[in-house]
Homo-oligomer: A and B are copies of this chain.
């Protein structure tokens, strides 16, 4: 079998993107295909900054499967179109050819599917024998076609768990201390992660009492009235706020008001803003949390379902590549709800690229502050099962540090024309 496989990671990483990486590399190895990885995603291809994964032991690949972050480095870098930046596409193909890369697997979200599709089309137009396969990944769960995105189930589990645990804390202190707790979760454009927090509730009046979705404009008076009523009824109140919550004018709440010590608008702070609002307008003691990267790197509490799906798309991507199915992506199809069943099926990258899967209206409760039974039925299987990493004598997970041995360069350096 001629030609090597190149695997690259793109965009924000997840708790299980390395689970996919390990599956890709193990599957390639099992099929006798040499595999390289690009250092820092597509940037590594442009820079001819490649990693020889053949130098990693089988044990290292097994450990990679339970290690968070992106082991080869990822990047936020959007390729322009071939028409706008033909030099970049020419360079990509030059690097791939110089290293006899026949299969290019790009592990990312919407943008990355678009990139893989463009490279695939560009190579085909040039008569190159290159197979481009997309591999799905995103904590945001906004990838089209697939029923869910690898990475989402784990952040969903983390979020629901954090809400349940912290709320038990708040409940026990509320009589003489904190009465309102606000937790800010990721999801700038869609409320998938905020919705997942709703799984924490089992009975009416369980936390979270209020979820603020980016899909619903923030109504200050309505919000405060509900917080006050919840505290009066339950004794305390947990609020889950998506970082993407907007005001009625469509501006991100996090950017509309708070100034830091230097007078600059403070980013990433819906939770402190809401906390200040509750404190000032209702006079209630409030605490807030903002887990930020903790939520998407929490491999220690990854969903087993998510980890299994992350591995399955990796294995399938190798199969699709070796079968010459360029321009495709293995996606997850739900074949049953009770019991939950799923399988991997191929999707055309063109159907995934640049689309965005919105949180269905039917998943948001009519009052706008919670989730519906339909949302629970969709979400619950995705957080199911644990997939614990092994721990060392220091009480911390044994995460692997790969060798990441560089592949000797064969080309001249690439001079980037990056926009500032």
Taking beta carbons and an 8 Å cutoff, which residues of A are in contact with B? 9, 12-13, 40, 43, 67-77, 157, 160-162, 164-173, 175-177, 181, 183, 199-200, 257-262, 264, 266, 268-269, 272-273, 276-277, 279-280, 287-294, 296-301, 303, 305, 380, 382-386, 388, 391, 393-397, 399
Q: A76 contacts B261, CB within 8 Å?
A: no
Q: A380 contacts B399, CB within 8 Å?
A: no
Q: B289 contacts A290, CB within 8 Å?
A: yes
A9 neighbours in B (Cβ, 8 Å): 172
Complex CA distance for A269 and B260, rounded to whole angstroms: 10
Q: A380 contacts B397, CB within 8 Å?
A: no
A300 neighbours in B (Cβ, 8 Å): 161, 165, 301
Q: A261 contacts B258, CB within 8 Å?
A: yes
Q: A67-B168, A172-B69, A394-B199 are in contact. Are A292 and B303 (CB under 8 A)?
A: no
Q: A261-B276, A280-B264 are in contact. Are A162 and B294 (CB under 8 A)?
A: yes
Q: State how many copies of this chain the complex holds.
A: 2
7 A-B residue pairings within 8 Å (CB atoms):
A199-B394, A257-B260, A258-B266, A260-B276, A272-B272, A380-B395, A384-B395
Q: A175 contacts B290, CB within 8 Å?
A: no
From B172, B301, B391, B395, give the contact of A13 (CB < 8 A). B172
Q: A40-B176, A172-B9, A276-B264 are in contact. Are A165 and B289 (CB under 8 A)?
A: no
Give the shortest distance, in Å, between A69 (CB) and chain B (any CB): 3
